[in-house]
Copies of this chain bind each other. A is one copy, B any other.
C-alpha cells in the first residue's frame, strides 16, 4: 500500500518542511480529484488534467498514490487505516471477535479528527457506487484490510490456525455490514454527519445475525 494516511492533525506542525509539503500536496490531490471526479466523472477526468489543476507532475502523483483509483479512495482508506491503528492498540476482552471489531469501528468513527472528513468520505463512497473501477479497487482494498486485521488479531488473541475459515467469516460479516452502512449513509441527502454514520453502522451491525436466519415466503402475485 503506497498511500500514506495523514497523521493526527495536532502533530503536523512538528514535521519537517518536506513532510508538511508532501502532506499538503497529497491533500490537494485528494480534494481536487474528488471535486473533478464528482463534477465530470472519473473516466472523463484524466490524470494530466488533475495534475495540471494541482500543479504537480504525473510522476509526483504516482509517488503519492499507487493508482488513479487510490486517490478517489483515499478518504475510505484513511478511515480503515485508523481502524487498524485502533485495533493494534485496543485491549482485547472476552466478547466475540465480531463485537470487538464493531466497537473498534465505532470508536474510530467517533475519533476521526481531520477537518471535513465526513464530506470527503461521502464523496469517496459515492464514487465507489458510481464507477466500476473504483468499486473493484475498493473491494480489493477492503479485502487486504481484513487480512491485515486478522494478522493484528492473531498477535493479540489466540485465534484458530490460519486454515480455519472462522476469522475470515467474521471479518467478512463486518465488512459487508460496514459497506451497507456506508452506502446508506452516503446516499442520503443533507449534511454528512458523524452521528448519522454511527447510527447506520449500529443498524447494520444489529442486522448481521439476521443474515443467517432470513427467510422469505414466495413472492406474492400482487403488483411489485
- How does the 8 Å CB contact mask read for A88-104 relative to B, with 1 for contact and 0 for none? 00001011111000000
Q: Report the minimal beta-carbon distance from A129 to chain B, rounded to whole angstroms.
A: 11
Is A151 on the interface with B (CB-CB < 8 A)? no
Task: Give chain A's interface secondary structure class.
Answer: helix
When C-beta atoms are compared, the residue in chain B nearest to A207 turns out to be B165
Interface residue ranges of A155-177 to B (CB < 8 Å): 155-160, 163-170, 172-173, 175-177
Shortest distance between the CB of A151 and any CB in chain B (Å): 12
Cβ-based interface call for A78 (8 A):
no
Query: Contact: B218 with A158, CB < 8 Å?
Result: yes
CB pair A218–B157 under 8 Å, yes or no, is yes
A184 at the interface (CB under 8 A from B): yes
Which of B165, B184, B208, B210 is close to A204, meaning CB atoms less than 8 Å apart? B165
B214 with A96: CB separation less than 8 A: yes
Q: Interface residue count for A (Cβ, 8 Å)?
A: 54
Contact of A98 with B163 in the complex, beta carbons under 8 Å: no
CA distance A213 to B219 in the complex (A): 32
Q: Name the B residues within 8 Å of A132 (CB-CB).
A: 140
Cross-chain contact of A166 among B137, B163, B210, B219 (Cβ < 8 A) = B210
A152–chain B nearest beta-carbon distance, Å: 11
Contact A158 B217 (CB under 8 A): yes
> Could you tell me if A212 and B158 are in contact, using CB atoms closer than 8 angstroms?
no
- Closest-by-CB residue of B relative to A143 is B139
CA distance A175 to B143 in the complex (A): 13
Measured CB to CB, the closest approach of chain B to A42, in angstroms, equals 15
Residue on B nearest A155 in the bound complex, by CB: B219
7 A-B pairs, CB-CB below 8 angstroms?
A96-B213, A96-B214, A97-B216, A98-B214, A135-B140, A165-B184, A166-B210
